[in-house]
Amino acid sequence: MSTESIEASGVVTSANVTSDVSVVTTTHTDQRTGGPAMGQRILDIRNFSVDYGWGEGAVRAVNNVDLHLNRSTVLGIAGESGSGKSTLVYGFTRLLRAPGVIAGGEALFNLQSEDGTDIIVDLVTASEKELRKVRWSNISVVLQSALSALNPVLRVGTQFEQVLKTHRRDMSKADRRARTVELLALVGLNEDRLRRYPHELSGGQRQRVMIALALALDPQLVIMDEPTTALDVVTQREIISKLFELRSRFGFAMIFITHDLSLLVELADEIVVMYAGEIVERASAQALYDTPRHPYTLGLLNSFPPMHGVRTELTGIPGSPPDLAQLPTGCNFNPRCPYAMERCLKESPSLADLGEDGRSVACWLHSGDAGVVVPVELRRTGKGKREPAPMPVKRDVS
Amino acid sequence: MRLIGRRLALYSVTAWVAISVNFILPHLMPGDPIQTLIGKIQGQVTPQEIEAIRLSFGGGLDKPLLTQYFTYLSQLLHGNLGVSITLSQPVTTILKQSVPWTLGLIGISTILSFIIGTVCGALLGWTRGSRLDSLIPTATFFQAIPYFFLATVMLLVFGSDLHLFPVLGAYSQNLHPGWTWAFAASAVRYAELPVVSIVLSSIAGWMLGMRNMMITVVAEDFVLMAVAMGLPKRKVIMAAARNAVLPSIANLSLAIGLVVSGALLVELVFNYPGVGDLLLNAVQNEDYPLIQGIFLVITLAVLAANLLADLVYLGLDPRTRTETAT
């Protein structure tokens, strides 16, 4: 994958990509380490930044994020409101609303053609026309509230019709209908729902319709932006299990955004945790749950009851998310971090590889410097499950 | 459809109430219209003449009110609205001559204004913050000027001075009214200036309303989804506009209702032979049968417009269809 030529033309077909793709990037952009083949790369986001506003008043909502995703895997993005998780995703899919602007970076998406050759598109520089082709046929999106995501004045069937008509020109009317019925059946809805309007369906049904709609064109990547947050717990369960049944059947990759870390641990293969527009920790789901390395991750884990297992006291994270216009000097998390050291107030840590199975964290506690004692709850224990460890109370560092 | 039937029933009840009020109103007025009329006639009035006037009011003013009411209703059903006192013609004949002019002129202007304003508003809302936004103060300027002033200036400048448009009346005086091309062309030509003036003065409302609604709707998730689905831009804008237009439709029904009564100024300035002109004369001369007839037409026009808008709304917004299912 030669980056330069991609930037120049937007779309590049590279035939001899196979050897390259099996290489897995562990941490940073071009610092590729040899590793076991983990399937094909589908998305590669590099140095990606998003601003809200222009010039002087611009606020950086996503800062230099590197992210990659392999075919048929599930990536979870967790973080509080305002951590930039949705902005990141809307940014690289070019769905940002004004005043959001992409401030830099690239988002390489691999559209695999039918004969197996890779076609790489940089979504950041792609033209409107190229984007329209990629949208929905390759990347589809499911939003939090399906009531507002479905056009209220169109019948459910019409909304499917619109999508199929736009992207599958050769389909006949009967074909389109058959496909729609098939899709509804996939999510467990009867075909009589076709004649209904969105407001006539229940919340769960609407989200099912949304999921069916997202799968209409067999996309390689489905982005889920808190798809179950607006639903009750029972429906949430149903939708999630339906989603994963479909995923194992069709093998699409998924980016799953939520603030519910305990949900992610069950669903995702890999999880990134975002804080103030930056990735602060990245690890496989189980590793992240068992041995969180970043104090913020620990705080998030302590904010949700585990889905299964022993009851623990919920502690949460003291303080509130930072004002992106006035970030603290040093580490963004230092005002809320109970472990903040002197260095944290001055220097900002960058995401560094921990050397354990692709884990990386942006925290000075893990810099390996002499004299830094890693607190026990953030240490590598190596033995199975994390002991429920409450966060210590934040004390003043001066 | 049951829903439409329900609306129809509701509107017929409203129409009946309006007609009844229309009947009662003159009876609630202080004084006796007949006496007023007789007072206005200078000189000697014979008892026969008084009787003739009584009859022209529908007859039987000495009968109980209820009987009069039923007579009124049955006459109404037969299309008899009485005889105008000042014009000495059946009210229905007079209305037949003036209502089409008003409906044509103001109705077409209102609909034109609505369509142009809404389309502009939708585009303004979509391209918010662009240079197109300067259209808004321009349009608001024309709405802010009192209509009679705007219309008079236009009449003087474009009509009298520049001779770009014919002035005074609804058609050339050299032509005889009829279904001929020449007459139709002349009517259109004479209507141009009034139509432009009405559209200019009323377009800002439609434009601003639609623009603001559009801005709200564009922020909705389903518009984002339409973009994410890779739909062509035209379809994305349509998806938003289709939802944003709903409040404007509701306003249109109100505006159409005001067509007949709002005609007054327009017809005065342009000397247009419509209902507004007629109403002014009727009120000045206390021509009760004519006033009653005009009120009736106005009421029915408002009701019909509302019914129409209701039905259109039902068609456009599926959410209103379930609301009455209780």
Q: What CATH number has the domain bearing residue B168?
A: 1.10.3720.10
What is the per-residue pLDDT across B104-127, written as a single tens digit (0 to 9) for each?
A: 888 889 889 999 999 999 999 998
- Tell me how far apart the alpha carbons of residues B20 and A350 are, in angstroms, rounded to a whole number: 82
A60 bridge partner residues: A51
CB contacts < 8 A, A to B, total: 75
pLDDT classification of A279: cutoffs 50, 70, 90: very high
CA of A97 to nearest chain B CA: how many angstroms apart?
A: 8
In a domain, B84, yes or no: no
CA A358 to chain centroid, in Å, comes to 17
Q: Which of A148, A150, A200 sits opposite B322 (nearest CB)?
A: A200
Q: What is the mean pLDDT of residues A361-379?
A: 81
8 A C-beta contact, residue A289 and residue A302 = no
Per-residue CA distances from B22 to A327, B12, B221 (Å): 71, 15, 49
Higher pLDDT, A34 or B269: B269
Q: What is the mean pLDDT of residues B64-84?
A: 81
The dihedral over CA atoms of B284, B288, B290, B295, expressed in degrees to the nearest 10, equals 100
Give φ, ψ of A361 to 5 degrees: -150, 150
- Predicted confidence (pLDDT) at residue A98 exceeds the cutoff of 70: yes
What is the per-residue pLDDT for B192? 87
Mutate to test the interface with B, among A135, A145, A147, A151 (most CBs of B within 10 A): A151
pLDDT at A5 over 60: no
Q: Residue for token digits 């590099």? A: A46
Nearest chain A residue (CA) to B220: A148
| Position A38 confidence tier, pLDDT thresholds 50, 70, 90 | very low
Both B116 and B39 in one domain: the answer is no
* Count, residues in chain A: 398
- State which amino acid sits at residue A329: T
Partner residue opposite B225 with nearest CB, options A132, A134, A149: A149
Report which residue type is found at B281: N
* Residue B23 falls inside a structural domain: yes
Helix axis angle, A156-167 relative to A173-186, nearest 10°? 120
From chain A, pick out residues whose CB is under 8 angstroms from the CB of B232. 132, 166
Lowest mean pLDDT among A291-295, A368-372, B6-10, B29-33: B29-33
CA distance A251 to chain B (A): 20
- What is the number of H-type helices and E-type strands within chain A? 13, 13
Give the model's pLDDT for residue A161: 93
Which position has the higher pLDDT, A28 or A210?
A210
Calculate how close chain A gets to B221, using CA atoms only, in Å.
5
Nearest CB among B221, B232, B318 relative to A148 is that of: B221
CA distance, residue A133 to nearest chain B CA (Å): 7
Tell me the chain A residues in contact with residue B219 when contact means C-beta distances shorter than 8 Å. 97
Q: Could you please report the per-residue DSSP string of B180-249?
A: -HHHHHHHHHHHHHHHHHHHHHHHHHHHHHHHHHHHHHHTSHHHHHHHHTT--HHHHHHHHHHHHTHHHH
Do B230 and A137 make contact, defined as CB atoms within 8 angstroms? yes
CB contact under 8 A, B243 and A162: no
Residue B85 in domain: no
Report percent pLDDT > 70 for chain A: 83
Of B77, B111, B144, the last residue of a domain is B77
Chain A closest-CA separation from residue B12 CA (Å) = 29
Is the model's pLDDT at A397 over the cut of 60?
A: no
Q: What is the distance in angstroms between the Cα of B269 and the nearest Cα belonging to chain A?
A: 43
Q: Tell me which of B225, B249, B312 to substitute to probe the interface with A (most A C-beta atoms closer than 10 Å).
A: B225
Same domain, yes or no, for B52 and B141? no
- Stretch A78-107: mean pLDDT: 89
pLDDT score recorded for residue A30 = 35
CB A354 within 8 A of CB A264: no
Residues B191, B105 within the same domain: yes
Higher pLDDT, B22 or A60: A60
Least confident piece of the model among A38-42, A297-301, A384-388, B25-29: A384-388
Which pLDDT band, with edges at 50, 70 and 90, does A314 fall under?
confident
Mean pLDDT calculated for residue range A295-302: 87
How far apart CA A5 and CA B20 sit, in angstroms, is 82
Residue A82's pLDDT band, with cuts at 50, 70 and 90, is confident
Confidence of residue A381 (pLDDT cuts 50, 70, 90): low
- How close A148 gets to chain B, by Cα (Å)? 5
CA distance A74 to chain B (A): 20
Which secondary structure element, helix H or strand E, spans residue A289, and what is its range? helix A285-290
d(CA B7, CA B321): 12
The mean-pLDDT minimum among A78-92, B66-80, B230-244 falls in B66-80
**What chain A residue is nearest to B231 in terms of C-alpha separation?**
A166
Confidence of residue B85 (pLDDT cuts 50, 70, 90): confident
Using CA atoms, how far apart are residues A89 and A62, in angstroms rounded to an integer? 10
CA distance B225 to chain A (A): 6
Residue spans per domain, chain A: 271-378
Range in A187-201, B248-262, B288-302 with the lowest mean pLDDT = B248-262
Note whether A148 contacts B228, CB cutoff 8 Å: no
**pLDDT number for residue A389:** 58
Q: Which residue of A has its CA nearest to B318?
A: A153
Say if residue A1's pLDDT is above 50.
no
Is residue B177 assigned to a domain?
Answer: yes
Across A189-343, where does the E strand assignment appear? 221-225, 253-258, 270-275, 278-284
Q: Which residue of A has its CA nearest to B127?
A: A98
Which residues of A lie closer than 8 Å to B, measured between beta carbons? 93, 95, 97-98, 128, 131-137, 140-141, 143, 145, 148-155, 162-163, 166-167, 197, 199-200
The partner residue sitting opposite A152, judged by closest CB among B224, B233, B319, is B319
Specify if B88 maps to a domain. Answer: no
Tens of pLDDT along B167-205? 777 777 777 777 788 888 888 888 888 899 999 988 999
- Name, of A100-104, A370-374, B143-147, B166-170, the range with top average pLDDT: A100-104
Percent of chain B surpassing pLDDT 90: 16
Element (H, E) at A211: helix A203-214
Domain count, chain B: 2
What's the whole-number mean pLDDT along residues A64-78?
91
A151 to B239: CB separation less than 8 angstroms, yes or no? yes
Pair B201, B150: CB distance under 8 Å:
yes
Q: What is the mean pLDDT of residues A360-380?
A: 81
- Report pLDDT digits (tens) over A323-367: 888 888 889 998 888 888 888 898 889 888 887 777 899 999 888
pLDDT confidence tier of residue A396, bands split at 50, 70 and 90 = low
CA–CA min distance B275, chain A (Å): 39
* Domain ranges, residue B26: 2-77
Q: Structure tokens of B73?
A: 């209703």
The torsion angle over the Cα atoms of residues B261, B267, B273 and B278, rounded to 10 degrees, is: 50
* pLDDT band at B41; cut points 50, 70, 90: low
Residue B145 lies in a domain: yes
CB contact under 8 A, B222 and A153: no
- Percent of the residues in chain B that have a pLDDT greater than 70, as a whole number: 89
Would you say A92 and A231 are in contact if contact means Cβ atoms under 8 Å apart?
Answer: no
Q: What local confidence, expressed as pLDDT, does residue A27 receive?
A: 33
Cβ contact, residue pair B232, A200, below 8 Å: no
Phi, psi of B315 (to 5 degrees): -70, -35
Q: What is the nearest CA distance from A292 to chain B, expressed in angstroms?
A: 34
Reported ipTM: the value is 0.79
- B95-106 burial, b if ≥16 CB within 10 A, otherwise e? beebbebbbbbb
Same domain, B123 and B215: yes
**Taking residues B151-155, what's their average pLDDT?**
89
For residue A375, what are its two tokens?
A: 């607190």
With respect to residue B59, please indicate whether it lies within any of the assigned structural domains. Answer: yes
With a cut of 50, say whether residue A229 has pLDDT above it: yes
- Rounded average pLDDT over B256-269: 76
- In this complex, the residue of B235, B242, B319 whose CB is nearest that of residue A199 is B319
Q: Please report where in the chains the tokens 């017929």 appear, as a residue.
A: B12
What residues of B are in the A interface, CB distance below 8 Å?
Answer: 129, 219-222, 224-233, 235, 239, 242-243, 316-319, 322
Which of A98, A151, A197 shows the shortest C-beta gap to B222? Answer: A151
Confidence band for B58, pLDDT divided at 50, 70 and 90: low
Chain A CB contacts of B230 under 8 Å are 131-137, 166-167
Distance CA A41, CA A36 (A): 13
* pLDDT at A187 > cutoff 50: yes
More confident residue, A381 or A57: A57
Question: What does the pLDDT read at residue A102?
Answer: 92
Q: Considering CB atoms only, which of B222, B235, B242 is closest to A148?
A: B222
Which one of A96, A132, A160 makes the best mutation probe of the B interface by having the most chain B beta carbons within 10 Å?
A132
Residues of A in contact with B221 (CB under 8 A): 143, 145, 148-149
Among B127, B229, B234, which would you mutate to test the A interface (most chain A Cβ atoms within 10 Å of its Cβ)? B229
What local confidence, expressed as pLDDT, does residue A9 receive? 40
A24-44: average pLDDT? 47
**B200 in any annotated domain:** yes
CB–CB of A141 and B225 under 8 A?
Answer: yes
Q: What pLDDT score was predicted for residue A375?
A: 80
Instruction: Report chain A's mean pLDDT, rounded to a whole number.
Output: 81
pLDDT at residue number B5: 85
* Chosen from A148, A160, A164, A167 to mutate, greatest number of chain B CBs within 10 A: A148
By C-alpha distance, which of B121, B146, B106, B287 is closest to B212? B121
Class of residue A112 by CB neighbours under 10 A (exposed 0-12, middle 13-18, buried 19+): middle
Nearest CB to B222; choose among A128, A136, A149: A149
Give the strands of the sheet with A221-225, arranged side by side. A139-142, A221-225, A253-258, A74-78, A270-275, A278-284, A360-361, A352-353
Which candidate from B221, B230, B235 shows the least CB-CB separation from A143? B221
